[in-house]
Structure 1
Amino acid sequence: MARPGQRRTGARRTAPRNQRGRHRGDVIALLAGTAREVEAAAQHGRVTPAVRTKFHAVALLLREERARLRTEAAGSESHRAEQLKRLDGIAQILATTAVRDVELMALLDEDAVVADAVRSLKREMLISAGVEPAPEEAPPPAETPAAPERRVVPQSVATRQLATPFLAPDYSAFAQRSTARPRRLASWELLGPLLSSFERAGSGDSACMTLPAPSKRYPKLMAHQAQLVAAAAAGHRTFLLADEPGLGKTAQALLAAEAAGAYPLLAVVPNVVKTNWAREANLWTPHRPATVVQGNGDTVDGYADIVVVNYEVLDRHVGWLGDFGFRGMVVDEAHFIKNKTSQRSQHVLELAERIRSRTAEPLLMALTGTPLINDIDDFRAIWQFLGWIDETKPLGELMQALEETDLTPADPGFYPAARRCVIDRGIVRRRKVDVAADIPDRRIADLPVELDGSAGRSIRAAERNLARRLVTQYKRSASPGDGIDHELVRRIAKAELKDATKSSGENVFSMMRRIGQAKAGPAADYAAQLARSAGKVIFFAKHVDVMDGAEEIFAKQGVRFSSIRGDQTPKVRQRNIDAFVNDPEVAIAVCSLTAAGVGLNLQVASNVVLAELSWTDAEQTQAIDRSHRIGQTEPVTAWRIIAAQTIDARIAELIDTKAGLAARALDGSDEQIVPSADVQLEALVALLTEALGQ
């Protein structure tokens, strides 16, 4: 007999077998602890064979315990309900973990093969819980994403959560998704070839899934819009809606959600258009209340069917959004998430995973008229949001479709077949010229301006100094001999670009800003002339000081204008948009190229002045298409103000040569693809090459 205070050891190990069944509650505690171990391992990317074994063991024991509790007569109903609720929590951990890994997903299948290591671990777990083992399979511990920081939970959302009866997540889709198990292609690296298949496109092979006949339920829709809604009604649930800007993607998304019954619906959008999204929802789905998340969400309607939130505040709201029970999610201007290391991209991907983990057939839609801005890799984050791939491989139906081609990346026919497999998952791309022939043409007209006076002389001198600095660096490293070493030229340009923010001298970015400041006056004068002679004008600039300078000129000339900027509150911004659209006396909209270049409908104007150049053709196109869109009745002209005899002119030429990426990858054009991320680099390469040639 142990003395007082002495610790007794071996009690569980020596307990009689007929007493072990008295501690069934220990099994659930053990399952919960093991599931969280797997969750933690998966969060750190360590889904090893041992982790999979744990996962399978937990899944099998979970299934057994659930069956036992539902059939046994002993114990009270309240106790049984409490134990089942605990098991539901463990099931949710397993399910959300499995969504990230196709092999874990397969282990949730009741027909999954049980390995000897799983049987052995399951037996050990039962013994450690004081239960007589009955060998059966148990899945490895499931990974769940770390609980997001719940920095803000709006009061109305908390009230809704308390008022809504508990509904268990629907995991019925997991077994279906687990059928896509890699077999023949298991050892192949596939993401690179899948992306390459779009680079190899051309010869008229456009990127659009086969769509059903237009739905007649929505007579206000154009035929191409009604086709997508019909696809959602027919059961398709993932879309990369890449229609050219101006073809009404917002309406298509809202009515696709209606056709799919995907409510509540989450819309993640740029800040500048979130108020407009609420308006569009009221227009197209007036019976579905919409709420806009502002700041800390104090005005959020927790009972709304459509929740609109902008990228910038996701970090505050990702916690409650993940638990809200959304059955659909729309990401507008989805190219905003192309950088997967950014916080907003990570939040979007996390929310999509949590929605997939709780809903059997969620509607997931990525909307962007310019899905490819820098290079083909821009597809990765969007495909991952839609659940087509993870970090390393295709998933689910996409993997199954690739298996069914009976081809590998070593076969010549793999690339067109693989591209079609991706497109059939839900890429929808239509061009204005094909589906909206009644929209008048658009054109881009360059207006060279001479930068006279001290500002012009200073800019040209700075460009010469930059060129001399690059030449000096080149000569330090160049080997004696004839001709220009173009590889060295590129290395020098890359080094200059990398150090541009640290350089004490002039660099390509500061020069472009100075050029923009110098062009502000001529560009504003031209916009004012256009407004007097041709009606409303949209004036785009990149930098705040260029916008300020233009607005001072408009004010001096007595031209009324609206200012649309990124630092405005949504209410102020929308008021300024409405003034330009509705007030005939407001002649010019002075717009930030980054804040107002997406999502807005400014078709009351048919003239666009680009006072500063973008670094990409996609950004330039987005800006022009604020005017060139459905409902426009006049030909649209974009007037690019170009500083003659400066690097500005070189960059304009480079942007025009980089316009072929989306055309080839999505529209079947035969144009050569050149990554547009290199415009800055190519500008420096051209500057140095020309200087060396002289």
Structure 2
Amino acid sequence: MLVEVARDVDAAVKRPPSSPAVRTKFQVVALLVREERARVKADDSLTTSKRAEELKRLDGVATMLAKTAARDTSLLALLADDARVSDAARALKAKVMRAGGLEPPEPSEDPTPVAPTTPTFSSSPQVVPRSVVSRQMANPFLAPDFEAAAQRAAPRARRLAGWELLEPLFRSFEKAATGAPACMALPDPRPVPVPSGRDLMPHQAQVVTAAARGHRTFLLADEPGLGKTAQALLAAQAADAYPLLVVVPNVVKANWAREVALWTPSRRSTVVHGDGDQMDGFADVVIVNYEILDRHVGWLGDLGFRGMVVDEAHLIKNKTSQRSQHVLALSDRIRTRVARPLLMALTGTPLINDIEDFRAIWQLLGWIDAKGPLGALADALEDTGLTPADPGFSAAARASVIDMGIVRRRKIDVVADIPARRVADLPVELDGAAGRSIRAAEAALTARLVQRYTTALELRTGGSVVDEIDGIDHELVRRVAAAELKDSTSKAGGENVFTMVRRIGQAKAGPAADYAAQLARNVGKVVFFAKHVDVMDQAEQLFAERGIRYASIRGDQTTKVREKNITAFVEDPDVQIVVCSLTAAGVGLNLQVASNLVLAELSWTYAEQTQAIDRIHRIGQAEPVTAWRIIAAQTVDSRIAELIDSKSGLAARALDGASEEDVTSATSVQLETLVGQLTDALRPPELV
């Protein structure tokens, strides 16, 4: 009997999608194989050879199930220890047992209620940063949330209690899809207080207004470039969801800290690195990356967060991964302690790709657990008055999930809100040996500049630095910087501003390529620009390792190869990224099939940067263009970016015929970079 049912399941799974009935059969056969193995092993009346024969036959059925699950991996969730066994599954199990000559056990009159499963915390060695201990000692008691306790104590009677609901919920996004992005009804935007010099776009203000009115769960799936980070931070401020936990990929940790300072300057943020020795345990916003959660998940669960933001939330789709389990455990702990915490999952991935991937995200937001819908979503499904057997259930179920807080806008949907093109800086931190080496080289360069300045000052004042010179001699600073630049240009070898910028570009190659890969997965085609061949090589290697098809445009290619690669990127939907040399591909190309561009290395001129952006920002481009500029935080890279931006107006006037070429040249940016380094080194620390 088990073999026969297993074959039926395998045949059905070959014709996806798997129906609920097929999934129930799979679960029943797996349960019976598990029980039969236990019974055979415990049966003392069987001889050794007979027991081995029976176990071999059961292993054959188990092998069939494994091959079936390999075709539809979502079936594996039915084998989990906490997987829900529906009434339909129990009835089928009894039927199969009777057909196989076994009498099913009598159902219990008063079954023992099963406690809800809670995601477990990491078994890895845990750390507790010293500043966190200080915070806990300063306030050892968390204020009780009586509303949370009341909600847990008074569950509502469920009309749909006997129905399998998760599968119909997921399939409703396929059966009742309208073709438009899934997006909840959002309120008209109200004025949102933002810091001076910052502008919140209307589509961003809608989410913040919804949070201010009491909405507390969001699956924010706007396309990249629409300002999800600002929406999340201002929503947390509107909901007073502090302290706020932010879980992000490593590549954007520094950017989140920067965005906190820009959008909510009254709130302190702290970034957790390594064991957290340098973090601020009293900060309002705690930023931690997925990779180190295993060390910190314990104290993070006890800190008393009232809100949680998970960036690039599609990274938790595999519920069996440690990363997913840690995030879900933290969300569960927060929801246990706080009645209505702010929970936000940020992702640019379209929801219609594979709705099964969003099972973990819905659980993170508290919409479902491993068994079925929870809380407000369960109430909404009850209020439809429908069951999964009714024709209108899919449309009503899809609408109920979307109303829980799915927000998806595309650039083209809000084109009036955003500029036709913009440059968005993404600061990244250079960790490890490469980062330490670059910082050491930058310190050595600065020390050399200071030594040159001090020596020149001593010679001018007759052998010693005298007190009569008040402050900094800026003219001397410029002369020292010019001399250093001349030496750097004329001498081969040695550490100078050019070799340092080159090394920074090499160190940024990995994070830049990683971000380009995320963009390609989220929005489609992406243009990747770099100055140096080794940076292009590193990026292409990462894309190849991740199975991302790419084209390459370099200076050493023949015209035929170049045209072939351009055509592949423009016309082949499977070629997601084109890797371009900033000098070889900066002009004469039309790549407007993409609207997102990654600048992995900085130019020395604003014009060169603009030429690269103009490869996609051309007549015929239907969407706003975003250029993502990767900046190495706390290095000379940041200064160069500021100088390039400051020259943009001068460059524009030069193009209009003004004689500003000398001010906007690469040499001027290089000189100003060295001037800035030396000036900051000479200032008192409190003025830097």
TM-score normalized by the length of structure 2: 0.48
TM-score normalized by the length of structure 1: 0.48
